[in-house]
Amino acid sequence: MLCQKCQQRPATVFFSQTVGNQTTQAHLCEVCAQAQGQAYGVMNPMNFNPFAAFSDFLNNFMAWDDGAIAEVNSGRKKPATVDPQLQCPHCGYQLSFFRQNGRLGCTKCYEAFKAALEPLISSIHGKVVHVEDLPAEKTDPLTERRSQKPEVKALREKISQAIQAEKYEEAARLRDEIKNLETEKNG
Amino acid sequence: MAFEELLTSNEDWFLKAGPSCEVVVSSRVRFARNLEGKKFPHNSSAVEQSEVVTEVHKAISTLPQAPNLQFVHLNKISSLDRQFLTEHQLISAEHAASLGERAVAFDAKEGLSFLVNEEDHLRLQVFRGGLSLKEAFQNLNQIDQTLCSKLHFAKDPQLGYLTACPTNLGTALRASVMLHLPALVYCNRAAQVLQGVTQVGLTVRGLQGETTQIASAFFQISNQSSLGKRGAEIVEHVDRVARQMVEVELQTQKTVFQEEGLKLQDRICRALGTLKNAKIITLREALDGLSALRVGVEQKILSGIDLPNLNHLLILIQPAHLAKIAGRELNPDMEAMERARILSLYLKSAEAV
């Protein structure tokens, strides 16, 4: 039996779900079952689905592919001129392998297959670029924002008290005072 | 057989009660890293793979954490041992099943592991009990920064860390929490609430209960995208959503107990009776029962047992752990018997209040 969703791979996963009085059954292949968000086979609830990243990707990849095909069919877009035989000069990996297993051959493949990968990457992550994390000791938003100075600590307590007493002007004044102290410290 | 010491350890991370552990079973953060210019594991020869293992091993050995790390070549141990490490959350099922030169360095107490040649050259991960994503992230970030000075990780200014699969680009970070949502499942609200979670950029995976309504209501939520945001922001986001889930679940528990307290109490006490007295029990039935016991502990219906004990049982009743306890490979019938024996042993002092 073929997978009900992709109609390509053999169905190996059978699951039923009961919502109210209605029971729905599905026969899916491993990949589509994972993509459905049913970590059926991982009976260990402490265990995190190891194939998650891969299936998320495939899911997105297929969606993108279908979208592209629909656009081509509707005549809105010319067929992409990406050659599936395209090879990475560094490792010899072919773009067609990537389409089969969702993995690239080496870190240089990103450069070699740039044209084919760009739309895919934006469909997965959005049209964004990487943002560097702050150095380790600054990544805690608490230590990042909050000075450990005792006088600042005292002022902060006063702010909480002022807010509780609904003395917002007082709280704002205290906040500015902390700001000044912290600029002094950093400057 | 090896790793017996992991069975008797009483200091593992899942034995500690973490924040919000009444709903959050565990938190996990992982980074994916690859060595510049090298082929990804699935595309490399055994020689290339073992070069990566050697290089990464050397770098890991210089970490301050190194004295507590156990380094294991996965292709040199039995498949039962690999399954055991998987159940113990030290490697992934994919890592256990893949072929070729691959290794892991782990500290089971800290829930810290370095998976070498899984999908990527290196995956570092930290587990924590309860909702402790931020702490896990900071811990991992520090280790990563030390490693950065010893290994040349492939990175692109636009794409961030380059990974075998484009889903992991950017920070190459995945932050996940395992939630136990029995009341939402009981009220048939889990699907609706989790649908909302997927709309704020998170992925949900679950194991829906079939037999009973308070079934193994365990769900995992994690970030979907890893590119375009700082790691700290991704972690913050998952953490915030998890907190909301905790609140909704606890509120729902309160309501259902007000309305149907006796019915639920009955169900929990029956589950305890089954788990304490069964002679043969499947993994599925045991999970459903343990799910009910968790609620019993939270609602103070049961005594003589706590959440860390129940976390421990979730791991001990898995097949490779049972085989390890028995000291030999078990067929499914023997496994079900051993599971029943372990449950009644560990639940001996558990009682309905």
* pLDDT tens digit sequence for B259-317: 999 999 999 999 999 999 999 999 989 998 999 999 999 999 999 999 999 999 999 99
Q: What is the pLDDT of residue B208?
A: 41
Contact (Cβ atoms closer than 8 angstroms) between residue B23 and residue B139: no
pLDDT 10s digits, A89-142? 999 999 888 887 888 999 999 999 988 888 888 888 887 888 887 655 444 444
Q: Do A37 and B204 touch (CB under 8 A)?
A: yes
Place of tokens 């490779």: B320
Q: Do B228 and A130 touch (CB under 8 A)?
A: yes
Q: What is the pLDDT of residue B199?
A: 81
Q: What is the pLDDT of residue B128?
A: 93
Pick from B223, B252, B263: nearest CA to B239 = B223
Length of chain A: 187
Pick from B171, B287, B289: nearest CA to B234 = B171
Banded model confidence at residue A148, pLDDT cuts 50, 70, 90 = low
Banded model confidence at residue A77, pLDDT cuts 50, 70, 90 = very low
- Cα B227 from Cα B158, distance rounded (Å): 9
The complex's ipTM works out to 0.83
Q: What is the pLDDT of residue B130?
A: 93
- Cα B237 from Cα B95, distance rounded (Å): 28
Q: What does the DSSP 8-state code read for residue B227? A: S
Banded model confidence at residue A48, pLDDT cuts 50, 70, 90 = very low
- Distance from the Cα of residue B126 to its chain's centroid: 10
Nearest CA in chain B to A132: B230
Size of interface A-B (CB pairs under 8 A): 187
Nearest CA in chain A to B178: A46
**Per-residue pLDDT for chain B (353 aa), expressed as one digit of tens each?**
478 888 877 778 888 888 999 999 999 999 999 999 899 999 999 999 999 999 999 999 999 999 999 999 999 999 999 999 999 999 988 899 888 899 999 999 999 999 999 999 999 999 999 999 999 999 999 999 999 999 999 999 999 999 999 989 999 999 999 999 999 988 888 878 888 888 888 888 765 433 333 346 888 899 988 998 999 999 999 999 999 999 999 999 999 999 999 999 999 999 999 999 999 999 989 998 999 999 999 999 999 999 999 999 999 999 999 999 999 999 999 999 999 999 999 999 999 98
Name every residue whose Cβ is closer than 8 Å to that of residue A43 and which is 6 or more positions away in sequence. Answer: B207, B283, B284, B287, B318
HEC profile of B58-115: HHHHCCCCHHHCEEEEHHHCCHHHHHHHHHCCCCCHHHHHCCCCCEEEEECCCCEEEE
- Cα A17 from Cα B318, distance rounded (Å): 24
Contact (Cβ atoms closer than 8 angstroms) between residue B204 and residue B179: no
Query: Which of A57, A106, A129 minimises the CB distance to B165?
Result: A57
Strand partners, A163: none
Query: Which of B154, B227, B236 minimises the CB distance to A107?
Result: B154
Pick from B39, B11, B77, B15: nearest CA to B310 = B15
Contact (Cβ atoms closer than 8 angstroms) between residue B153 and residue B189: no
Nearest-CA distance A64 → chain B (Å): 13
- Cα A105 from Cα B39, distance rounded (Å): 6
List, as one string, the DSSP characters of B124-149: EEEEEESS-HHHHHHHHHHHHHHHHT
Contact (Cβ atoms closer than 8 angstroms) between residue B169 and residue B159: yes
Q: What is the pLDDT of residue A14?
A: 55
Strand partners, B207: B218
Contact (Cβ atoms closer than 8 angstroms) between residue B248 and residue B192: no
Query: Which of A38, A45, A107 minimises the CB distance to B37?
Result: A107
The average confidence (pLDDT) of chain B is: 91
Nearest CA in chain B to A53: B167
